[in-house]
Structure 1
Amino acid sequence: MRLQHLHLLLTLAQTGSLRASAQALNVTQPALTKALKQLEEEFGTALVVRTPKGVHLAPAGELLAARAATVVREIERAREEVTWHTQHAQATVSVGVSPAAALMLAPRAVARFQSRWPQVRVRLVDALYPKALLQLRSGELDLALGPLPATGLGPDLAVLPLTDSPEVIAARAGHPLAKSRRLVDLESASWVLTGPLHGPGDPVHLGLEALGLSPPRVMLECESFSTLLAVLPGMDAVALMPKRFFDSHGPRNGLVALPIADALLQTTIHLFCRTDAPLTLPTQRLKDGFEQEAKALRRERNNT
C-alpha cells in the first residue's frame, strides 16, 4: 500500500466521483481505477460501492479512510517538523480550548511561547468536550484543554490535571431569583443547559435532588457559552457559567451572579494529548507552557 492509495481513498470519499477524484489527483481515470483495484485486492474486500449517481465508500472503505486520514495527517506533520528542523520554517500547533481554559491559561502561556518560538503558528480552536477529544483522536488537534469526561478516557489519550475552574450561577439583572442565596431557592427556576449532558454547564451537577428538590427544569440548550451569553440577558432563566468567563463577559452583558452561599462545583481543567503519536518539539514546548501557567495560577491562588 502506498501513500497515494490513501490519498485516493480520501479523495473518493470527498468527491463521490471517479472522474472528479482523478481530476483532483491529476491522474487519468483508468490509472485511478487500477490503483483502487490494487488497494481492494490488497485488503481482500470491496472498498467502494459504485452506483449510477457516483461512488461512495463501503463499510470497509470507511474504516480504512478513518485510519488513512490520521496517517496522512501524521505524515504531513512529520514533513513539517523535519522542514522546521532543517530550514527553521513555520510550523503550526493546534490546541482545542474550553472557555475557562482560554481565559485562565491561554493568554500568558501562548504569549510566552510565541516570544520564544516566533516562527511557530499557534491555532486555538474553541472546543467543548466531547468534540475536542474526537478532534484530538482524529489528529485535527495536537492538544486539548478542558474538563474530564464523565465516562473517563481510553488508553489512547494521556491526561494531566492543570487547575480548577470555579462556577457561578448567572441570570439577567432584575431576574426574580437574582438575589437567591440558597440552592433550595431555585426549585422553581428555569435552567439553560450549556454544552453536552453531564458537562460543566449541566445543572444536574448541583445535586438538587439530593436536597429533596425536583430535578432542574431545563428550558433551553445551548451548544456554547458564547451562545448562552447572547440569549441569557433576555430570558427569565438561570445557568451555570465558569466564573472567569462570567467575570470577563457577564456584567457588561447585563448578567449578575447569584449570591449562592452553598458550595458550588469546581470544574478541573485537564490537558489531553494522544499516546499513540509523539508530540512535535513545538507542541511539547507549548504543553510545558500550559503546565507552567497552571502552576503559576496555583501559586497566585495560595498567596491570596
Structure 2
Amino acid sequence: MPEPKTLSGEPGGFTTLLRAALPVVPGVNQLPGVRKGPASAFTGLSYARRGVVAERARVDAYAAVCGFPRKDVVPLTYPHMLAFPLHMAIMSDPAFPYPAIGMVHVENAITAHRAIAIGESLDVTTSVGAPRPHAKGVLLDFVTTVAGEDGTAWESTSTYLRRGRTVDGEVAPGLSIPDAPTGGVEWRLPADLGRTYAAVSGDANPIHLYPLTAKALGFPRQIAHGMWTKARSVAAIENRLPSAVTVEVAFKKPVFLPGTVAFAARQDDDGWTFALTSPKDGSPHLMGRTR
C-alpha cells in the first residue's frame, strides 16, 4: 500500500460532488485528471486527515438526526463522518479505477476500542486495496483507522460493490445473519430524511435527496442512507453496548422515503442481533450483530 495522500482543508461540498460525477460524463471522462486508470493495474490507494477534531456542534447535530443521546463522547458510528471525505477523495482520484457514482455500500463493520471524547484531536486514515471478485461485479474494502494520542481508538471496513465485470479469484461469502429478528417497533421516516442526514454527514449523493435526482439514477424515489439505518439501529441499543465493541451490518433492500420500517433486536450470548425490515412482508433492509 502506498503512503497516504494528505487531505487538507475543509472537505466536501460542491467540488467533491463535481469530481465524483465527472467520470460518468461521456467525453469529459476521457480528459486528463478525470480519466480513470485500468482496474487491472490498481493495487491500492490511501488518504489521511491529520488533527481532525470531533466538534461539539457537529456531533450534536449528527446525534439528533440519528437518535443518539447528547454525551461528552461521540456516538459509535460518528467517526464514519470523519472518514467519509477520505472515501470520496479515493473514489475521485484518477488512480481509482471506478467512478464514485454507482458504488453501492453493501456491508459495514465498526470496531470501537474505546470511547472518543468530543474535542479530541484525531488522525484518520482510509485505505483501499485491489478489488476482489463478486457474483455481480467486484468488491472494494475501504479500511479506516482513527487514532488518538494513545493509538488506534476506532476502526471500520466499508465494503462497496461495483456492478459489472469481475476479477479473477474465489468469491468470498458475505455477512450472513439467517436468524435475524423481524417485526418490532415501527419507525416512520420522512421524505426529507436523506437531505437532513446529508446536511450532517456530507454525503449528498443524489439518490438520497429528491425523487427527481433519485429517478435520474434508476430509483423510483429517494432512499435513506445506509449509514443512517445503521446509526439509527445502533442508537436503539446504544445504552446496552460496551464502549469497546464490534458492530457488523449488511445492507439489503433500500429504504424508500417517505416510508415505514420495523426495528427488532435480540440479545444473544455474546452480543445483540438486530434487523430493520419491511412491516409489510418482513423482508430485510438491514441485518446486523454486535460482539
The reply to whether TM is greater than 0.5 is no
Of structures 1 and 2, the larger Rg is shown by 1
Higher strand proportion, which one? 2
Q: Give 1 or 2: higher helix fraction.
A: 1
TM-score, normalised relative to structure 1: 0.22
TM-score w.r.t. the length of structure 2 is: 0.23
